[in-house]
A and B are shown apart, each in its own frame.
Chain A
């Protein structure tokens, strides 16, 4: 999958990026992200009085000579970042050409690659009306291929319930990290309940809403029976320009409602159309949004 998704040049350019976190990382393992803990990092953090048992390598000998006091220099310890990639695998994601599901898997693969290269811990969760499949926590560049294979093995089916999936996954203890939501957010329950649930864990959240070009600009015959890909429900409509206009308005309103929920929680939101250049999204748009740096 990797060879099909990414070329060498893209991967090399991807390696120059890393996740940008607004808050210090809370990983337990050493990584490349700033954490709240002080330790053996490279970035000076503070001073404190020496107490027996401290590492004497961090004593500030200049202060000792001037003030005759043992002061210990503190450094920020760099930790790894737990990254939770939530890939929407509901039936609605199979819609479009190129399909939203393929696009979401490519984004997830790229972000997983990025995280694993930076020695972050990566979890991939495929969800529909609950957790469909889960890739347990992986770390290290060697886990790139298992992560790719996992993504390649996913299929899109079933309904959509983000709240159910989040409840299922975060019901256990999970380190605070970056939650990446890759979905079309066509959730009958709406996005707000899931967002409210997720907000309590104080994760950093990046929501990428995917739209197929056929959703953004539907091209339908005059008389058509529309069939819901997830529920099978159908409705016959007479397609008129005014109806199309109303649909686009509703579509825009739906996207804006997702965005407003995200912005209200201080989350990062991005809308992407699946026929847009993928590398442009990864190398520029996500940096502009502050997701990568």
Chain B
């Protein structure tokens, strides 16, 4: 949380010094300054993630706006405890971005509220350290290294599922591989990703 404040006034500094959880509580009490502070802190990460999925900046910006607006609307629900704010925000962003590309491709919307991220959010949540810009670079390097350590044949189904919103069946059709092969590759890739990240101690315990 070392992002520089937008101004040096005491009022702004007071908000900037607050942690995410405190800002979410203020947001639940309908304090727009809290939302503004969270936006300044996380908009870049959210935009980067949305852009990675939808591929064009205009759509990514719309998703950023919508994701933060939903966090504003649903702040009271989050306050009940659903992991960290970043995890929640990225999950909202993921759902919006995947819906957007499925809509473009005229594929049915998933519309499942059984979001595993939210379901498991309070378990093994990596915590808020990611928003610290001082460690962001190395954090991302660690993640990318872990991903690159997975054989491409196993990484591809994972990325198609997560960043393109494809089901295993859709991935099998897309790659022209048997469904069983895709399932096996995805399972092996995820296990390796988990093991690699555990070894590198980047958040999974």
Indicate, yes or no, whether A interacts with B: no
